[in-house]
Structure 1
Amino acid sequence: MKKNLLLYILLVFLIVVNGFFLFNYLGSSDKIENRNRSNGPADFIVKELNFDGDQMLEFERVNREHHHKMRRISRNIKQLKDALFNRISDVSLNENSIDSITTLIGEKEKEKDMEVFYHFKDIQELCNDKQKEKLKKIINDALHKRGKKEQRPPLRNGNGEHRPPPPKH
């Protein structure tokens, strides 16, 4: 009986120690990982523009509002696209309904682009003259890189003419 009791105590002790080790090991790496992870563009802008304390507080407020608006617009776009593609299996298509939904999607995309524009305008309002120039360069660089990513080489047939890809059956 004493041998078994000693084994049970040792087993409980090892389980507790292993649990403590796993909790500290896994918990610590998550904290370190989160500390080293940046918030993407916002952190980049703050770092590049070297905001002071007051600018930082105002930037965080502006950025928070921007993200709330963008999430709302994106949810609306998703709902509209769901409504559009839910009609894909309809036996009879109502062209007016499809046109109406795609028009609404286009308006929401416009609203999204305008929100991004005014967000950068708000950030520019926070900046001094030197920071404004730096922000302008950051935006221009981002726009030009984005455009390059989206460009694709044209497809050509044997005669050098542009052609669409063949349909897949």
Structure 2
Amino acid sequence: MAPLARCHGQTSCTEQRDRDNTFMLLRDEVEMLRRVPIFSRIAPAKLKLLAFTSDRMTYNVGQDLFHQGDPADAAYVVLSGTADILVHSPAGDIKVADVELNSIVGEIAILCDVSRTATVRATSPLEVLRISKEHFLKLLSDFPEMAVEVMRVLADRLNHTTAELTAARAAKLPQVAM
């Protein structure tokens, strides 16, 4: 039989285990954040600060992270699972994009200082890191390299959206016989 672990000093064994578990979760969150494109070039110490000031949250299938029109109070980094981005229309909700592992959502409303532009709904069990608006904006201010990565991600989304809009409008144009 293995000897029992002993805790020394003023820390109880339970407190030590809690601290060890917190450290392991923090280390895991830092590794997950490194895989997110906007955080990939950020120093590990800065990512540790981000992970420490964020909240890990879970959602079941069908649960919404936020709704179109809600105040923009946080951005969310997808640690596991998938979700749909839905926009309300007179004909009902329209799916406009998928959210996958290592994606960030909710940052546009924060950056534009507007209410949520879409609803995000979990399509599988979803685990996210919730970054408050205040922390997100402070990070962008303190770490210009992160701001540049956010601009790259947003520019890529704009490019993709422009291509989709062009294709949709072209499909509606009358065909000219040659």
Same fold (TM over 0.5): no
The structure number with the bigger radius of gyration is 1
Structure 1 length as normaliser, TM-score?
0.34
Higher strand share: 2
Structure 2 length as normaliser, TM-score?
0.33
Higher helix share: 1
